[in-house]
């Protein structure tokens, strides 16, 4: 009995450090520094996230082109995960600045243009004729999640832009 308890405790202690480890961060330390420097500037910060998300999709395209056919599914999965992590941060930041009542009208147009671009690239990946069923199986769920996220976020971004434009009209009207 003591031996079983000892083995159980040993196993928990050995696995303990791995439980607290975080997933790989798709942002480089230079990108994190840029975001930190732009923490108070919503426009700059959101533009940086757009740039970083775009870079992840571009890196995904390059990685897929250079990958061996047997590795392309995993490479695609990993690239999609990096894109989705960065895009989720972009969306979280839009929400944070909107909650703070920041005027995002100008930068939301940039974000919406990027949303359209990202959606087109993801849909092109989905329609890729070179992907085998085995390859697609490795990233199909993640690709569907990315498409759903971009689609729903695009609608949220459009709604927020509309709300902010309407609020700006009323604000101008009340000053007259």
Chunk the chain into consecutive blocks of 10 residues (it has 176) and report each block's average pLDDT, rounded to whole numbers: 46 47 78 95 97 97 93 96 98 96 96 98 88 89 97 98 93 66
DSSP state of 25: P
Q: What pLDDT is recorded for position 171?
A: 81
Q: What pLDDT is recorded for position 175?
A: 60
Q: What pLDDT is recorded for position 146?
A: 98
Q: What pLDDT is recorded for position 13?
A: 46
Residue 150 near residue 115, CB atoms below 8 Å: yes
Cα separations (Å) of 45 from 50, 58, 133? 9, 20, 39
Q: What pLDDT is recorded for position 131?
A: 77
The C-alpha atoms of residue 11 and residue 60 are separated, in whole angstroms, by: 38
DSSP state of 102: -
Nearest to 82 by CA among 28, 43, 30: 28
pTM score > 0.75 for this model?
yes
């Amino acid at each position: 009995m003591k031996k079983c308890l000892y083995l159980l405790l040993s196993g928990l202690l050995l696995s303990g450090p791995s439980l607290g480890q975080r997933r790989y961060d798709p942002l480089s330390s230079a990108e994190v520094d840029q975001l930190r420097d732009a923490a108070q500037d919503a426009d700059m910060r959101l533009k940086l996230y757009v740039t970083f998300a775009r870079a992840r999709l571009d890196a995904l395209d390059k990685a897929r082109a250079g990958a061996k056919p047997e590795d392309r599914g995993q490479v695609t999965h990993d690239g999609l995960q990096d894109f989705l992590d960065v895009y989720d941060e972009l969306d979280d930041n839009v929400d944070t600045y909107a909650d703070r009542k920041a005027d995002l009208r100008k930068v939301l147009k940039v974000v919406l243009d990027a949303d359209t671009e990202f959606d087109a690239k993801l849909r092109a990946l989905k329609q890729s004729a070179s992907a085998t069923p085995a390859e697609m199986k490795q990233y199909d769920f993640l690709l569907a999640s990315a498409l759903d996220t971009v689609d729903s976020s695009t609608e949220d971004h459009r709604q927020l832009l509309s709300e902010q434009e309407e609020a700006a009209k009323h604000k101008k009207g009340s000053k007259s």
